[in-house]
Amino acid sequence: MARPRKPLLSRDRIVETAGALVDAEGLGALSTRRLAAELGVSGPSLYNHFRTKDEILDAIADAVSAKIDLSMFEETDGRDWRTALHDWAVSYRAALADHPHIVPVLAQGPGRRPAGLRVADAVFGAMVRAGWPPAQATSIGALMRYFVTGSALGSFARGFVDDETAYDPADYPHLGQAHLLAEHRQKVDERAFETGLRALLDGLRIQYEGSVAGGPVAESSVTGGPGVGGPVAESSVTGGPVADGSVTAEG
């Protein structure tokens, strides 16, 4: 009697299963023993595809990077560099938000990961084509990675407990609504991300118009991120109903 065939073990299947495990339980849950059990194979069989656990984590991270939209950086797209950076940052954050546990790996940079390197190449190329000197294009790419991965590493709103008694007005007179932040976490965090992104983009827009478009940029002068012009709605900065996600508690 023929022996039943075992499911084919492939790199893609390993990465998909490992990624699902990390998504569900965090980085600490991933081990070769646990992964082999999830796949229904022996541990040594994994080494035919990956030499180390770090290689598996790299592959998971690269699969996430491959989900980031880069179409806005194509020369035929038509979006200016500020709009392209904005739209890319939104896509970048969305990809990370779907896989928050792998963000610490992505935050280390692309290394040798192909999809991660394609992201870096697309951003750098678009900035250079727009007129930014190569050194400044590099700084912009770094700045945007710091901002997006930083926003994805943790939730500002989740850091506040939803217990009103924790915010005694005698001690914290300005945190009267802080206990509502967690309830509106997604809206608060999205509003904060968009506010910060616009500030970065507006800063680079001003610098580009004042320096790049008219002459060389001072090497140390890039201090903000590229941006979409336009005023920021007052309620998104100064506060308003918590339901709008605009609570301004700091911490």
Query: Which top CATH class is 11-51?
Result: mainly alpha
- Decide if 195 contacts 170 (C-beta within 8 A): no
> Residues 101-124: what's their mean pLDDT?
96
167, 176 contact by CB (below 8 A):
yes
The SS3 assignment for 163 reads coil
Q: Say if residue 240's pLDDT is above 60.
A: no
Instruction: Tell me the per-residue pLDDT of 22-74, one tens digit each, with 9 for 90 and over.
Output: 999 999 999 999 999 999 999 899 999 999 999 999 999 999 999 999 999 99
The CA-atom distances, in angstroms, between 7 and each of 13, 35, 44, 109, 154 are 10, 15, 16, 34, 37
Q: Domain ranges in the chain?
A: 11-51, 65-244
Kindly list the distances between the CA atom of residue 69 and the CA atoms of 72, 118, 140, in Å, as whole numbers in the listed order: 8, 11, 18
Q: How many helices (H) and strands (E) does the chain have?
A: 10, 0
- The neighbour count for residue 190, using CB atoms within 10 Å, is 15
Cα 77 from chain centre = 23
pTM (two decimals):
0.79
Sign of CA dihedral 156, 159, 163, 166: negative
* pLDDT at residue 232 greater than cutoff 70: no
* Superfamily designation of domain 65-244: Tetracycline Repressor, domain 2 (1.10.357.10)
